[in-house]
Chain A
Amino acid sequence: MTEKLHGYVERLKQHNGEWVSDVKDAHGEVTVFVPAAAVGDVCHFMRDDQQFDLLADICGVDNGPEEDPRFEINYHLFSTIHHDRLRLKVLLSEDSPVVPTVTHIWRTADWHERETYDLFGVKFEGHPDLRRILLPSDFDGHALRKDYPLRGYEPYSMN
Chain B
Amino acid sequence: MSTAVENIPSQFDVLDNPLESQMTLSMGPQHPSTHGVLRLDLRLDGEMVLKAIPDIGYLHTGMEKLFEYKKYQQGIVITDRMDYLNPLGNNLAYVMAAEKLLGIEIPERAQVIRVLMCELQRIASHMVWFGTSCLDMGAMTPFWFTFKEREKILNIIESASGGRMTPSYFRIGGLMMDLPAGFENRVKQFLEGFPDALETFDTLITGNTIWHSRTQGIGVIDRVDAIAWGLTGPCLRGSGVDLDLRRDNPYSGYETYDFEVPVEPDGDVWSRFMVRMRELRESQKIVRQALERLKPGPIKADAPKVVLPDRDDMRKHMDSLIHHFLIVAEGFNVPAGEVYLPIEASKGELGVYMRSNGGPKPDRVHFRGPSFVNLSALPVMSEGEMIADVVAIIGSLDIVLGEIDR
Decide if A and B are genuine partners. yes
A-to-B contact residues, CB < 8 Å: 26-27, 29, 31, 53-57, 59, 61-62, 74, 76, 78, 80, 83, 85, 87, 106-108, 110-112, 119, 129, 131-137, 143-144, 148, 150
Asked if B347 lies at the interface with its beta carbon under 8 angstroms from chain A, I say no
Given contact pairs A59-B353, A144-B65, A76 touches B57 in the complex (Cβ within 8 A)? no
Min distance, Cβ A49 to any Cβ of chain B, angstroms: 16
Contact B340 A55 (CB under 8 A): no
Q: Mark B98-131, 1 if CB is under 8 A from A, else 0.
A: 0011000000000000000000000000000000
Contact of B376 among A29, A76, A108 (CB under 8 A): A108
Query: A112: which B residues are within 8 A, CB to CB?
Result: 373
Interface size on B, residues (CB 8 A): 44
Contact A107 B229 (CB under 8 A): yes
**Chain B 220-265 residues near chain A, CB threshold 8 A:** 225, 227-230, 232, 236, 241, 243, 248-249
Min distance, Cβ B321 to any Cβ of chain A, angstroms: 32
Contact B230 A54 (CB under 8 A): yes
Contact A26 B368 (CB under 8 A): no
B-to-A contact residues, CB < 8 Å: 1-2, 4, 56-57, 60, 62, 64-66, 69, 100-101, 225, 227-230, 232, 236, 241, 243, 248-249, 337-340, 342, 349, 351, 353, 355, 363-364, 366, 368, 372-373, 376-377, 380, 405-406
Contact B57 A134 (CB under 8 A): yes
Given contact pairs A76-B353, A80-B241, A59 touches B69 in the complex (Cβ within 8 A)? no
Contact of A76 among B65, B236, B249, B340 (CB under 8 A): B340
Contact B230 A27 (CB under 8 A): no
State in angstroms the CA–CA spacing of A56 and B369 once bound together: 10
Which 9 residue pairs are nearest across A and B when measured between Cβ atoms? A108-B230, A57-B368, A134-B57, A111-B376, A83-B248, A59-B366, A134-B60, A107-B228, A59-B353
Given contact pairs A56-B368, A80-B241, A135-B57, A27 touches B353 in the complex (Cβ within 8 A)? no
State in angstroms the CA–CA spacing of A150 and B229 once bound together: 33
12 intermolecular pairs with C-beta atoms under 8 Å apart: A26-B338, A27-B100, A56-B232, A56-B368, A61-B364, A74-B340, A76-B340, A80-B243, A87-B340, A106-B230, A132-B57, A135-B60
State in angstroms the CA–CA spacing of A135 and B61 once bound together: 10
- Please give me the residue from chain A that is nearest to B100 by CB atom: A27
State in angstroms the CA–CA spacing of A108 and B372 once bound together: 10
Contact B405 A134 (CB under 8 A): yes
- Please give me the residue from chain A that is nearest to B372 by CB atom: A111
Contact B373 A108 (CB under 8 A): yes
Query: B377: which A residues are within 8 A, CB to CB?
Result: 107-108
Min distance, Cβ B4 to any Cβ of chain A, angstroms: 8
Query: B349: which A residues are within 8 A, CB to CB?
Result: 56, 78
Contact of A26 among B56, B69, B337 (CB under 8 A): B337
* 15 extra interface residue pairs, beta carbon distance < 8 Å, beyond A26-B338, A56-B349, A108-B373: A27-B100, A53-B227, A57-B353, A57-B366, A57-B368, A76-B340, A76-B351, A80-B241, A83-B243, A85-B249, A107-B228, A107-B380, A108-B230, A133-B56, A136-B1
State in angstroms the CA–CA spacing of A62 and B8 once bound together: 39
Query: B69: which A residues are within 8 A, CB to CB?
Result: 150
Contact of B230 among A55, A119, A143, A144 (CB under 8 A): A55
Contact of B56 among A80, A134, A137 (CB under 8 A): A134
Query: B338: which A residues are within 8 A, CB to CB?
Result: 26-27, 29, 31, 74
State in angstroms the CA–CA spacing of A56 and B353 once bound together: 11
